[in-house]
Structure 1
Amino acid sequence: MGLTDFLSLQYGLSDQAIDKLVKSGRVVSLGPHSNIIQEGKTERSSYLIINGCVKAHLNHDGKEVTFWFGFEGDLLFSYNSKILNSPGYESITTLEKCQLWEIKNEKLDQCCQESLEIANWWRKLIELELLKTERRLIDRQIKTATQRYHELVCEHPQILQRISLGHIASYLGISQVSLSRIRRK
Structure 2
Amino acid sequence: MRKFLASFNILTEKDISEFSRLTTLKKLKKGDYFIEAGNMCNEVAFINKGLFRSFYLSSTGEDVTYCFFWERNFVTAYTSLITDTKTTESIQALTDIEMLSISKEDILKLQESNINWLKFMKTLAEQEYIGLENRMMLLQRETAEMRYKHILKNHPEYIQSIPLNYLASYLGITQRHLSRIRKDSFIE
Scaled by the length of structure 2, the TM-score of the pair is: 0.90
Look up the match of 1:104: 103
Q: CA deviation at 1:62?
A: 2.0
Deviation at 1:28, TM superposition (A): 1.5
Tell me which residue corresponds to 1:87: 86
Counterpart residue number, 1:4: 2
1:51 to 22, 36, 49: 49
Alignment partner, residue 146 of structure 2: 147
Say if 1:53 and 1:143 are closer, same or farther in 2 by CA, change over 3 A.
same
Identity %: 27
Amino acid at match of 1:172: L
Distance change >3 Å, CA 122–CA 107, structure 1 → 2: same
Q: Give the AA of the match of 1:98.
A: I
Q: How far is the alpha carbon of 1:126 from its aligned partner?
A: 1.1
The alpha-carbon deviation at position 46 of structure 1 amounts to: 1.3
Displacement, 1:129?
0.5
| Residues 96, 162 of structure 1: 8 Å contact kept | no
CA offset at residue 162 of structure 1? 1.1
Preserved CA contact (<8 Å) 1:44 1:104: yes
The yes-or-no answer on 1:16 pairing with 2:14 is yes
> Alpha carbons of 1:135 and 1:125: their partners in 2 closer, same or farther (altered >3 Å)?
same
Name the CA distance, whole Å, in 1 between partners of 2:149 and 2:25: 34
TM-score norm. by structure 1 comes to 0.91
Deviations 1:57-92 (A, max 9, x none): 011222210010111233222233212100011001
| Maintained 8 Å contact 1:53/1:69 | yes
Unaligned runs of 5+ in 2: none
SS of 1:158's equivalent in the other structure is helix
Q: Distance in 2 between matches of 1:164 and 1:53?
A: 12
Moved more, 135-144 or 114-123: 114-123
Shift of 1:127: 0.8
Q: Which runs of 5+ in 1 are unaligned?
A: none
Contact 1:6 1:50 in 2 (8 A): no
1:182 equivalent in alignment to 2:156? no
Aligned letter for 1:44?
N
Task: Give the conservation status (yes or no) of the 8 Å contact 1:48–1:101.
Answer: yes
Segment drifting more, 174-183 vs 99-108 = 99-108
**Hey, what's the Cα distance between the residues in 2 that align with 1:51 and 1:152?**
21
Question: Secondary structure of 1:92's partner?
Answer: strand
